[in-house]
Amino acid sequence: MTQGALTGLRLIEMGQLIAGPFCGQLMGDHGAEVIKIEPPKVGDAMRSWGQGIPLWFSVVGRNKKSITLNLREKEGQAIVKQLVEKSDFLLENFRAGTMEKWGLDYETLSAINKGLIMIRVSGYGQTGPYSHRAGYGGIGEAMGGMRYIMGEPDRPPSRAGLSIGDSLAATYACLGGLMALEHRHKTGEGQVVDSAIYEAVLANMESTIAEYTVAGHIRERTGSILPKIAPSNVYPTSDGSILIGGNQDSVWKRMAAMMGRPELGEDPRYATHVARGENQTELDELIMEWTKGIKSQELLDMCEEHGVPAGNVYRAPEMLEDPHFKAREALVEMDHPQHEHFVMQNVAPKLSKTPGHIDSVGPDLGAHNEAVYGELLGMDSAKMNDLRERGII
């Protein structure tokens, strides 16, 4: 693996889909050795997921080693304990109680390795009356409050088009794991990181709870705008549309000048943040009447010249052609054993000294059995063949 900020650390990844594995991806991007445990023969369900062609695992499984292991068998559980002895993190996103059922609870594992950091991702967390419920990302988005405010006001709640709840929980899990690592640097002791999907979503809900407890206000669905934040919307052009954010007082004054109507910057209806919020609809209508006669690129150039934040609403084709994406290497083309021109998003965030790197796409199922079981755990070929024949690996 390329040197990264987490080089020298080893993470054992258990579980499937997104909520756990995206945490493993983030750590692997920055140099951690990620050993992913998958069920023999079938592997992670993500191997068959994707729109059209199942390519998702090639992204979420990048920079990882894949081994097969039957966790439901005592021998499989014993092998996990051997791996824990040689690792820094254990990551899992099974339903709460599953690891305890397998005898792989933190008390047992920390007795083997007191510095172990156990990262646990689940729908509802490891405690509380809902902890044993099955929980997918979409449910966490709903209970965490995000789904209610997503979409158009005249329709039922929508979704983001991505598994945002899972990814948020995984990101907080990664953050928690690194916080626990800093604690271990000071004390030598590991701990449990408990990342619940609904709480990860809830953490991003801004002031919505306080707005209700203090003022009795419940945010509603508002489509392409944020209430009282204006102007900030998708505006039509003569050949499409662009998103413009001119909602700060000083930016709005520059935008008014750009429109050839500098007096609007001082107009009491629009001069302040509060006033623009109160007159949001009429202000958007005024701007749309102006933008609809201008070509998108011309409008973007005007916004850049006047220091007004603006941008196109991109899809993959536009990202691939954008010079800024290219200059910052935001996308990277990887060698793939089955597909030509395999491009994925690059490592984020960028670190100046240890920037992280993608060394490989998601591996074939069990591709690293020999390396992990043979080299790391010291099993001979006869032992591995016996375990393979009995369906343990």
Partners of 193 in the β-ladder: 119
Q: What is the pTM of this model?
A: 0.94
Write the pLDDT tens digit of every residue in 376-386. 999 999 999 99
User: Does residue 166 have an active-site annotation?
Assistant: yes
Residue among 166, 267, 322, 359 flagged as catalytic: 166
pLDDT of 52 above 80:
no
Residue 343's SS3 state is strand
Q: 203 falls in which pLDDT band (50, 70, 90)?
A: very high
Write the pLDDT tens digit of every residue in 278-315. 999 999 999 999 999 999 999 999 999 999 999 999 99
Start-to-end CA distance of the chain, whole Å, equals 25
Q: What is the mean pLDDT of residues 29-37?
A: 97
Q: b/e map of 40-64 (b: 16 or more CB within 10 Å)?
A: beebbebbeeeeeeebbbbbbbbbb
Among 45-59, 146-160, 261-275, 315-329, the range scoring the smallest mean pLDDT is: 45-59
Q: 1 falls in which pLDDT band (50, 70, 90)?
A: very low
d(CA 356, CA 348): 8
Mind listing the domains of the chain with CATH numbers? Answer: 10-203+330-389 (3.40.50.10540), 232-313 (3.30.1540.10)
pLDDT of 2 above 70:
no
Indicate the residue type of 246: G
* φ and ψ at residue 12, rounded to 5 degrees: -95, 120
SS3 percent helix, strand, coil of the chain, rounded to 5, is 40, 15, 45
